[in-house]
Every structure is written in C-alpha cells, then in structure tokens.
Amino acid sequence: MDWVAITVFVALFALVTVLGFVASRWRRGDLDLIDEWGLAGRRLGTLITWFLLGGDLYTAYTFVAVPALVFGAGAIGFFALPYTIIVYPFVFVVFPRLWSVSEKHGYITASDFVQGRFGSRPLALAVAITGIFATMPYIALQLVGIQVVLAGVGISGSGFIGDLPLIIAFVILAAFTYTSGLRAPAMIAVVKDILIYATVLTAVIVIPIELGGYGKIFASVPLNKLILPEPPTGSFGAYSAYATLALGSALALFLYPHSVTGVLSASSRRAIMRNSALLPAYTFLLGLIALLGYMAIAAGVGDMPDFASNFKQYGPNFAVPALFLALFPSWFVGFAFAAIAIGALVPASIMSIATANLYTRNIHRVYLRPDCTKAQESEIAKIASLVVKFGALAFILLLPQKYAIQLQLLGGVWIIQTLPAVVLGLYTSWFHRHALLVGWAAGIIIGTAMVASLGFSTSVFPLQIGDLTVPCYAALASLVVNLAVTVALTFLLNIVHTAHGGDDTIEADYQEAAS
C-alpha cells in the first residue's frame, strides 16, 4: 500500500464528490423536469460543452485501453488518432441539424427524433434498445479503469473487501447523478479534464527526460510495433484494418446515447460547431496518451518483478499505471490515478443518464405509462439511472472482465446500425420506415455474426473480395449491408405504395434561422 498516493487520491475523489452534489444548485433549474435533469436545461455554453463532451467521449477506459493496445499490439492502437480527427468534420456538418430539430420539437433522445421523423414506433424502439445495449457494457468498462488504478496503489484483493472501494466509488457516482442529473458530470468534467491535462503534459515531458529522449524511446520499440506491418500479397492487411477502424468508429461515436446527450445539452447549434474545432485538443491529448504505451515498452515495465502479479491480472491495461509507479513520486502517482478514476465517473454518469432518458422517453412512457406526468417522467429517469449503474457494477464484479470488453466491441457494431435512421434521417425522410427497420436488423445480425465468427476477440473481419483479402471493421462492413437493404427495400415499398409514417418535421426545423 502506498499511503501518500492513496491520500492524494482520496482527497481529490472527495473534492469531486462534493462538487457532484453542489452541482444541483448550479444554474438552478427544476430538476423534476427531464429536460433539466437529463439535459441540464439545454443551457451549456461553448466552454462547458467542451469540458463535458471532452470528459464524455475520451473516457477513462479509452485512456487505459489505447496505450495498452499500443503497448501490446503496437501502431494499430494509434487508429484512435485518425478516428478522433475525422469525427469532428462529420459532427460539424451533421449534428447542428440534430440540435436544431430537437430544440424545436423538445426531443431528448435520438429515438425521439426518429419517432418524429419517420412516425414509426417499432423503429424508434429499435433505436432506443440499440442505444441501451451498446452503452451498458461501456459503463461497465469505466469501472475497469478505476479497478486498474486502485490495484496500482495496492488496493486490490478478492471477495467483498477487495471490491469495496469500487462499490463505494459507484455508490457516490449513483447518488450525485440521482440528485444533480447532468449538471454533476458537467461540473466534475472541468476538474477531471484539468487533472488529465496536467498529468499527461507532465508525463510526456518528464518521462522522455528520464528515459533519454523521444529518439531513444522510439528506438527501443521493435519495428513490428513501431509502424503498421506491410500488407502481405493478396491482402490489404493492417492498412485497411487501420483505416476502417478509424472511419467506422468515427461514424459510430456520436450515435452513442451519451454523445447525443452531450450534443443536445448545448445551448446553441453554434456551441456544437465551435466545439468541432475545439475538441481536437483532446485528440492531441489522446495521441500523447497513446505514446505512453511506447514509453512503457522503453521503460521495460513489462519485465519488472514488482508489477508481475498486476500484469498477470490486468494484462496490458496495467502498462500505464506501471509506468507511473516506476517513474514518479507517490504524490504524483496519486494525482494521476485520481485523474483516471475521476475520468471514469464523468462518462459513467452521462452514460447512465443517457440510457435512463432512452428508457424513460422511448420505452416506459410509450409502452408502460403513456399518461405519466412530467414529474413522474423525471422520477422514472432518475430511478432508471440507478438501475443501469448497479447493473453495470454487478456485471463487472460477478462476470469475467472479458465479457464486458467483448460486449463493448459489439456495441460499436450495433450502434452504427442506427446511422441510416438518425444521421441520414436528418437530411431526408425518403427512406421507408419499414425498410429502415429491416436494414437495421440485417446490419445487427450480420455484424454480430462477423464478430462471433472471430470468437469475439476482434472486430476486424477479413472480407474476401475475389482473390483479395480486405480486413475491415465489422461495424463498417455491416453498415454497408444495412444501407443496401434499406435503399433497396425503400424502392420496393414505394413501388407497391406502402404508407410512410407521418413526418412531424419540416426542413426549416433543421436550420439555424428556425431555432
């Protein structure tokens, strides 16, 4: 046990706990309305949106898993960089439209929008369920981030006592999310992001000095991990894997409920456009964090006897904690680990709010209690957020971690199937509601089958096109199938004049002047 590190860690954790509860009074609103609890009243300006989305999208799991992938597998792990570069031009063009139409019609979730645009309850339900199932394992994985750093300061073990710190962290998270809603993660995100920036900037300056410079660090990385291996003849090899992972992940990212919640809580469409130019600061940070994977190789943490047991339990995910433990004084280790653990609270909180919004608006209110009042709606959402979080906690404590990782892998494949309805739906209502639903189902089935055929160990599927092998991110490949089915069926259903659902929106709703 490292008591200095633990003290710093606990002190910072206590600070954000207080912040989380104080947040309920911040820009005070009536938290008995789901708009206020679940979207912070749509009043977050450019700066707070920057902190919120930054804290939301660049999760603790990302900060642990990306350098772990670079440490274990090499340059392929760097796909996180092109992924989080190209996502913003896409967001800049597409998501202000979602913001405007949602503000006009009071939509809280992507599923609300799909219901309004295509007038199809089954389609809206499909979008809602996809969002919930894609997000649940993601929440569970945030806990992995906390678990790994707790183990780093010597808090681990088996049984209830070993799990207790994690349970305490989660109870705190659940309580402040319940009372303060989206205001809590918005406020905590500011602290979290400052901690993360300070930690990473210190690390990328100090560690190279300790290890003899960047040149030496890269020189100690074996060539097969330093850049992508040259594709073998007859295959696009790692090249197409890298590019499709980046493109598919970028298309999927903002379809996740927690991203939509972040977007819709902004005070204006301009705040989203501005953030498309400002959020790449986090991408730069993520790139630096990815480099920590190489620094861990150069420092040789994988062979240090002190860390052997933790590497055995947590695998490459322990690379970055080990690097900090090996090179930094205890107080800084406590600071850095608190940054990661608090970094898990923000996305976990937003994700649970987002799934709670989906459940309340698009399942409970539609199928179970159509007559519920505004106050009841907000209350149901609060309770749903608790259920979601304790579900995630139980998942991570009771089942092997690999299930959460595999389900999160599948989550990306699933959520991207809502792109035709949600993203293309922002531009046109030409698609037939039944066609969208069948396309969605086709994409889910084929994408899941692809990942299953690989034993759930990777989501890069080797497509065979003639003699050529094209390793392709299953999400992207299955999205193409989804789109083909949707377009073909729309033509067919139009020919036989099957009725479209009603469209509540007009083009002006999607543009600035209307908002």
Partner 1 sequence: MLKQRRDGRQNQWWLVLLLAPFIGVLWIPFFNRIEPDLWGIPFFFWYQFLWVVISALVTALVYFRVAPKPLAIRKDHREGRRQ
Rounded Cα distance, 68 and 77, in Å: 8
Of 29 and 471, CB closest to partner 1: 471
Give the phi and the psi of residue 290 in degrees, each rounded to 5: -60, -40
Q: Is 41 left (phi over 0), alpha (psi -120 to 50) or beta?
A: left
The answer to whether 242 contacts partner 1 (rule: CB under 8 A) is yes
Nearest to 486 by CA among 416, 444, 438, 446: 438
The answer to whether 287 contacts partner 1 (rule: CB under 8 A) is yes
The answer to whether 209 contacts partner 1 (rule: CB under 8 A) is no
Q: Which residues contact 120 (CB under 8 A, 6 or more apart)?
A: 114, 433, 434, 436, 437, 501
The answer to whether 88 contacts partner 1 (rule: CB under 8 A) is yes
At its nearest, how many Å lie between partner 1 and the CB of residue 32? 28
Of 10 and 211, CB closest to partner 1: 211
Please list, residue by residue across 164-192, b when 16 or more beta carbons sit within 10 angstroms of its beta carbon and e when fewer do: ebbeebbebbbebbbbbbbbbbbbbbbbb
At its nearest, how many Å lie between partner 1 and the CB of residue 351? 25
At its nearest, how many Å lie between partner 1 and the CB of residue 375? 30
Which one-letter DSSP state was computed for residue 425?
A: G
The answer to whether 512 contacts partner 1 (rule: CB under 8 A) is yes
The answer to whether 89 contacts partner 1 (rule: CB under 8 A) is yes
The answer to whether 280 contacts partner 1 (rule: CB under 8 A) is yes
The answer to whether 427 contacts partner 1 (rule: CB under 8 A) is no
Helix axes 269-278, 46-57, angle to 10 degrees: 60
Of 68 and 187, CB closest to partner 1: 68
Of 217 and 415, CB closest to partner 1: 217
Give the phi and the psi of residue 463 in degrees, each rounded to 5: -70, 140
* Strands of 405-483, DSSP E: 460-465, 468-473
Rounded Cα distance, 489 and 493, in Å: 6
DSSP lists the bridge partners of residue 465 as 468
The answer to whether 308 contacts partner 1 (rule: CB under 8 A) is no
At its nearest, how many Å lie between partner 1 and the CB of residue 275? 10
At its nearest, how many Å lie between partner 1 and the CB of residue 89? 4
At its nearest, how many Å lie between partner 1 and the CB of residue 309? 32
At its nearest, how many Å lie between partner 1 and the CB of residue 470? 13
Tokens for 454? 């690989």
For residue 385, CA distances in Å to 78, 180, 358, 381 come to 33, 12, 10, 6
DSSP, collapsed to helix, strand or coil, labels residue 181 as: coil
Contact 437, 496 (CB under 8 A): no
The answer to whether 270 contacts partner 1 (rule: CB under 8 A) is yes
Stretch that binds partner 1, among 152-160, 268-276, 380-388, 425-433 (CB under 8 A): 268-276
- Figure out which of the listed residues 135, 199, 276, 408 binds partner 1, where binding follows CB under 8 A: 276
The answer to whether 10 contacts partner 1 (rule: CB under 8 A) is no
The answer to whether 228 contacts partner 1 (rule: CB under 8 A) is yes
Of 163 and 193, CB closest to partner 1: 193
Where do contacts with partner 1 occur on this chain (CB under 8 A)?
Answer: 75, 78, 81-82, 85-86, 88-89, 92-93, 213-219, 226-228, 239, 242-243, 246-247, 270, 273-274, 276-278, 280-281, 283-284, 287, 291, 512-513
